[in-house]
Amino acid sequence: MNVCGVNDIRPAEIHAAKPLVPKLSAFGVEMAIEELKRHISQGIDQIPAELIKTRGRTIHYEIHKLIISIWNKEELPEE
């Protein structure tokens, strides 16, 4: 092995991997809520789709905030 020029070796650049899925936008939440079907069985949360759809931007914002919190903490809340 040739040790001449060892000082010329530069550390490799470290590149962070881009997330495979971009963070969900508020608009994305609104679009998903709009696609909810009415008059279907409630999910595990027991909240009817009609209630989510009719509550407007306030509930859309709160759902978006919850999703972003889950995304950042990488854990589901107890409630």
pTM above 0.75, yes or no: no
Q: Over 60: is that where the pLDDT of 7 sits? A: no
d(CA 77, CA 79): 6
Domain ranges across the chain: 20-73
d(CA 49, CA 42): 7
What integer pLDDT is reported at residue 65 of this predicted model? 93
Q: Over 60: is that where the pLDDT of 8 sits? A: no
Tell me the CA distances in angstroms from 19 to 10, 22, 24, 76, one per residue in order. Answer: 27, 6, 12, 19
Per residue in 22-33, pLDDT tens?
778 989 999 988
Hey, which bits of 1-79 come out as E strands?
A: none
Task: Please return the burial class of 24, using the count of CB atoms within 10 Å of its CB with bins 0-12, 13-18 and 19+.
Answer: middle
d(CA 40, CA 19): 33
Residue type, 39: H
Mean pLDDT in residue range 58-74: 89
